[in-house]
Amino acid sequence: MSKARIYMDWNATAPLLEAAREACLSALGLIGNPSSVHGEGRKIRALIESARRDVAALCGAAPANLVFTSGATEAANLVLTPDFRMGKTPISIGRLYVSAIEHPAIREGGRFPADRVSEIPVTQQGIVDLVALESALEAHDRQTGLPMVAVMLANNETGIVQPIAEVSRLVKAAGGVLVVDAVQAAGRMTLSIEELGADFLIVSSHKIGGPKGAGALLARGEILMPTALIRGGGQEKGHRSGTENPAAIAGFGAAARVAVENLEERMVPVLAMRDRLEQAMVALAPDVVIHGRDGHRLANTSFFTLPGLKAETGQIAFDLEGVALSAGSACSSGKVGQSYVLAAMGHDPGQGALRISIGPSTSEAEIDGVIAAFGKIAARRRLSGAAA
């Protein structure tokens, strides 16, 4: 009899919540187009608007300022554009500044030409270099348009939380626009677009236990908005045309409702399990490097390097032990490559690192299973080193 597998890859995608599954199935049973004015259309429109309120509440934003998309990548491509409007007045964005540890969806620069995207370095602690950002903004040529800055709230690999309020202060002093990727932070820490000082937030359904295929761009206000990426019938107030996906959106809303309930309390045992796991890893392999351990991280994330064990080898070894984890970001078509996040932090990216990410339904028994697997892999590494 094969033992149950252990899922430790919540940052790649969280397990689908039962409430989200039920919401999806219920929505699939409805007929009608949400843009239709008859009763069937109004019913499914009401479902979408209810989900809009729930996702907005998770982010401390106004429902009217939320645009549903097919995912976070589309939301990033919608907002990362040189062309904005303030009401009916065209507004030009001259340059995009992104931190060196941004998700590929942000690093690619959206609709900005490559020569209008600048990278801001991070410190060895994985925090955006505020001095470098301030210098870049001071040197920005306002004749080309406003500056836009994109900095994630929490890194998808290390879990390190960025000082967004300080970033916002610098961006506002420069008259710029701040975009915050909150994909990993949503559902794991309290969010407020106002308190962060962000102009735009990006969130994703499947990172919080909703279905894949839904995301959202949230704006602080209704006046400043990017030009549409997908044009057509004018859905989502003209910001994102195309008939909405009611099933995915309903599941997204249900997941958001679950996520916002007792959020801080639910993360307390998650943090305790993560810390217990890391303490055990250090005891079993004192030379293990846990990246960002001394900084402010998400409670659910551990990103570590075991010297002498390459990331791809480690990922396979854990998989054979029945443990699913990642070697960095899981959004590169299954590739296991060098971590640009580690490189940006000044570490040798050649060996790479492994990421364990957990959630509220992770059990103590599963943590025990991961510790046991880690012990076996660390022991084999020692024997291999002795044989060499």
Sign of CA dihedral 268, 273, 274, 279: positive
In DSSP notation, 81-145 reads -SEEEETTEEEEEEEEEEETT--HHHHT-TTS-GGGEEEEPB-TTS-B-HHHHHHHHHH--GGG-
Contact 167, 149 (CB under 8 A): yes
In DSSP notation, 141-162 reads -GGG-EEEEE--SB-TTT-BBP
Whether residue 59 lies in the annotated active site: no
**How far apart are alpha carbons 23 and 43 in whole angstroms?**
14
- Comparing CA positions, the residue from 163, 356, 352, 376 lying closest to residue 285 is 376
Contact 280, 369 (CB under 8 A): no
Burial string for 159-174 (b: 16+ CB within 10 Å, else e) reads bbbbebeebbebbeeb
CA 226 to chain centre: 21
Q: 64: which DSSP letter?
A: G
| Residue of 30, 224, 271, 331 marked catalytic | 331
CA 178 to chain centre: 16
Active site (catalytic) residues: 331
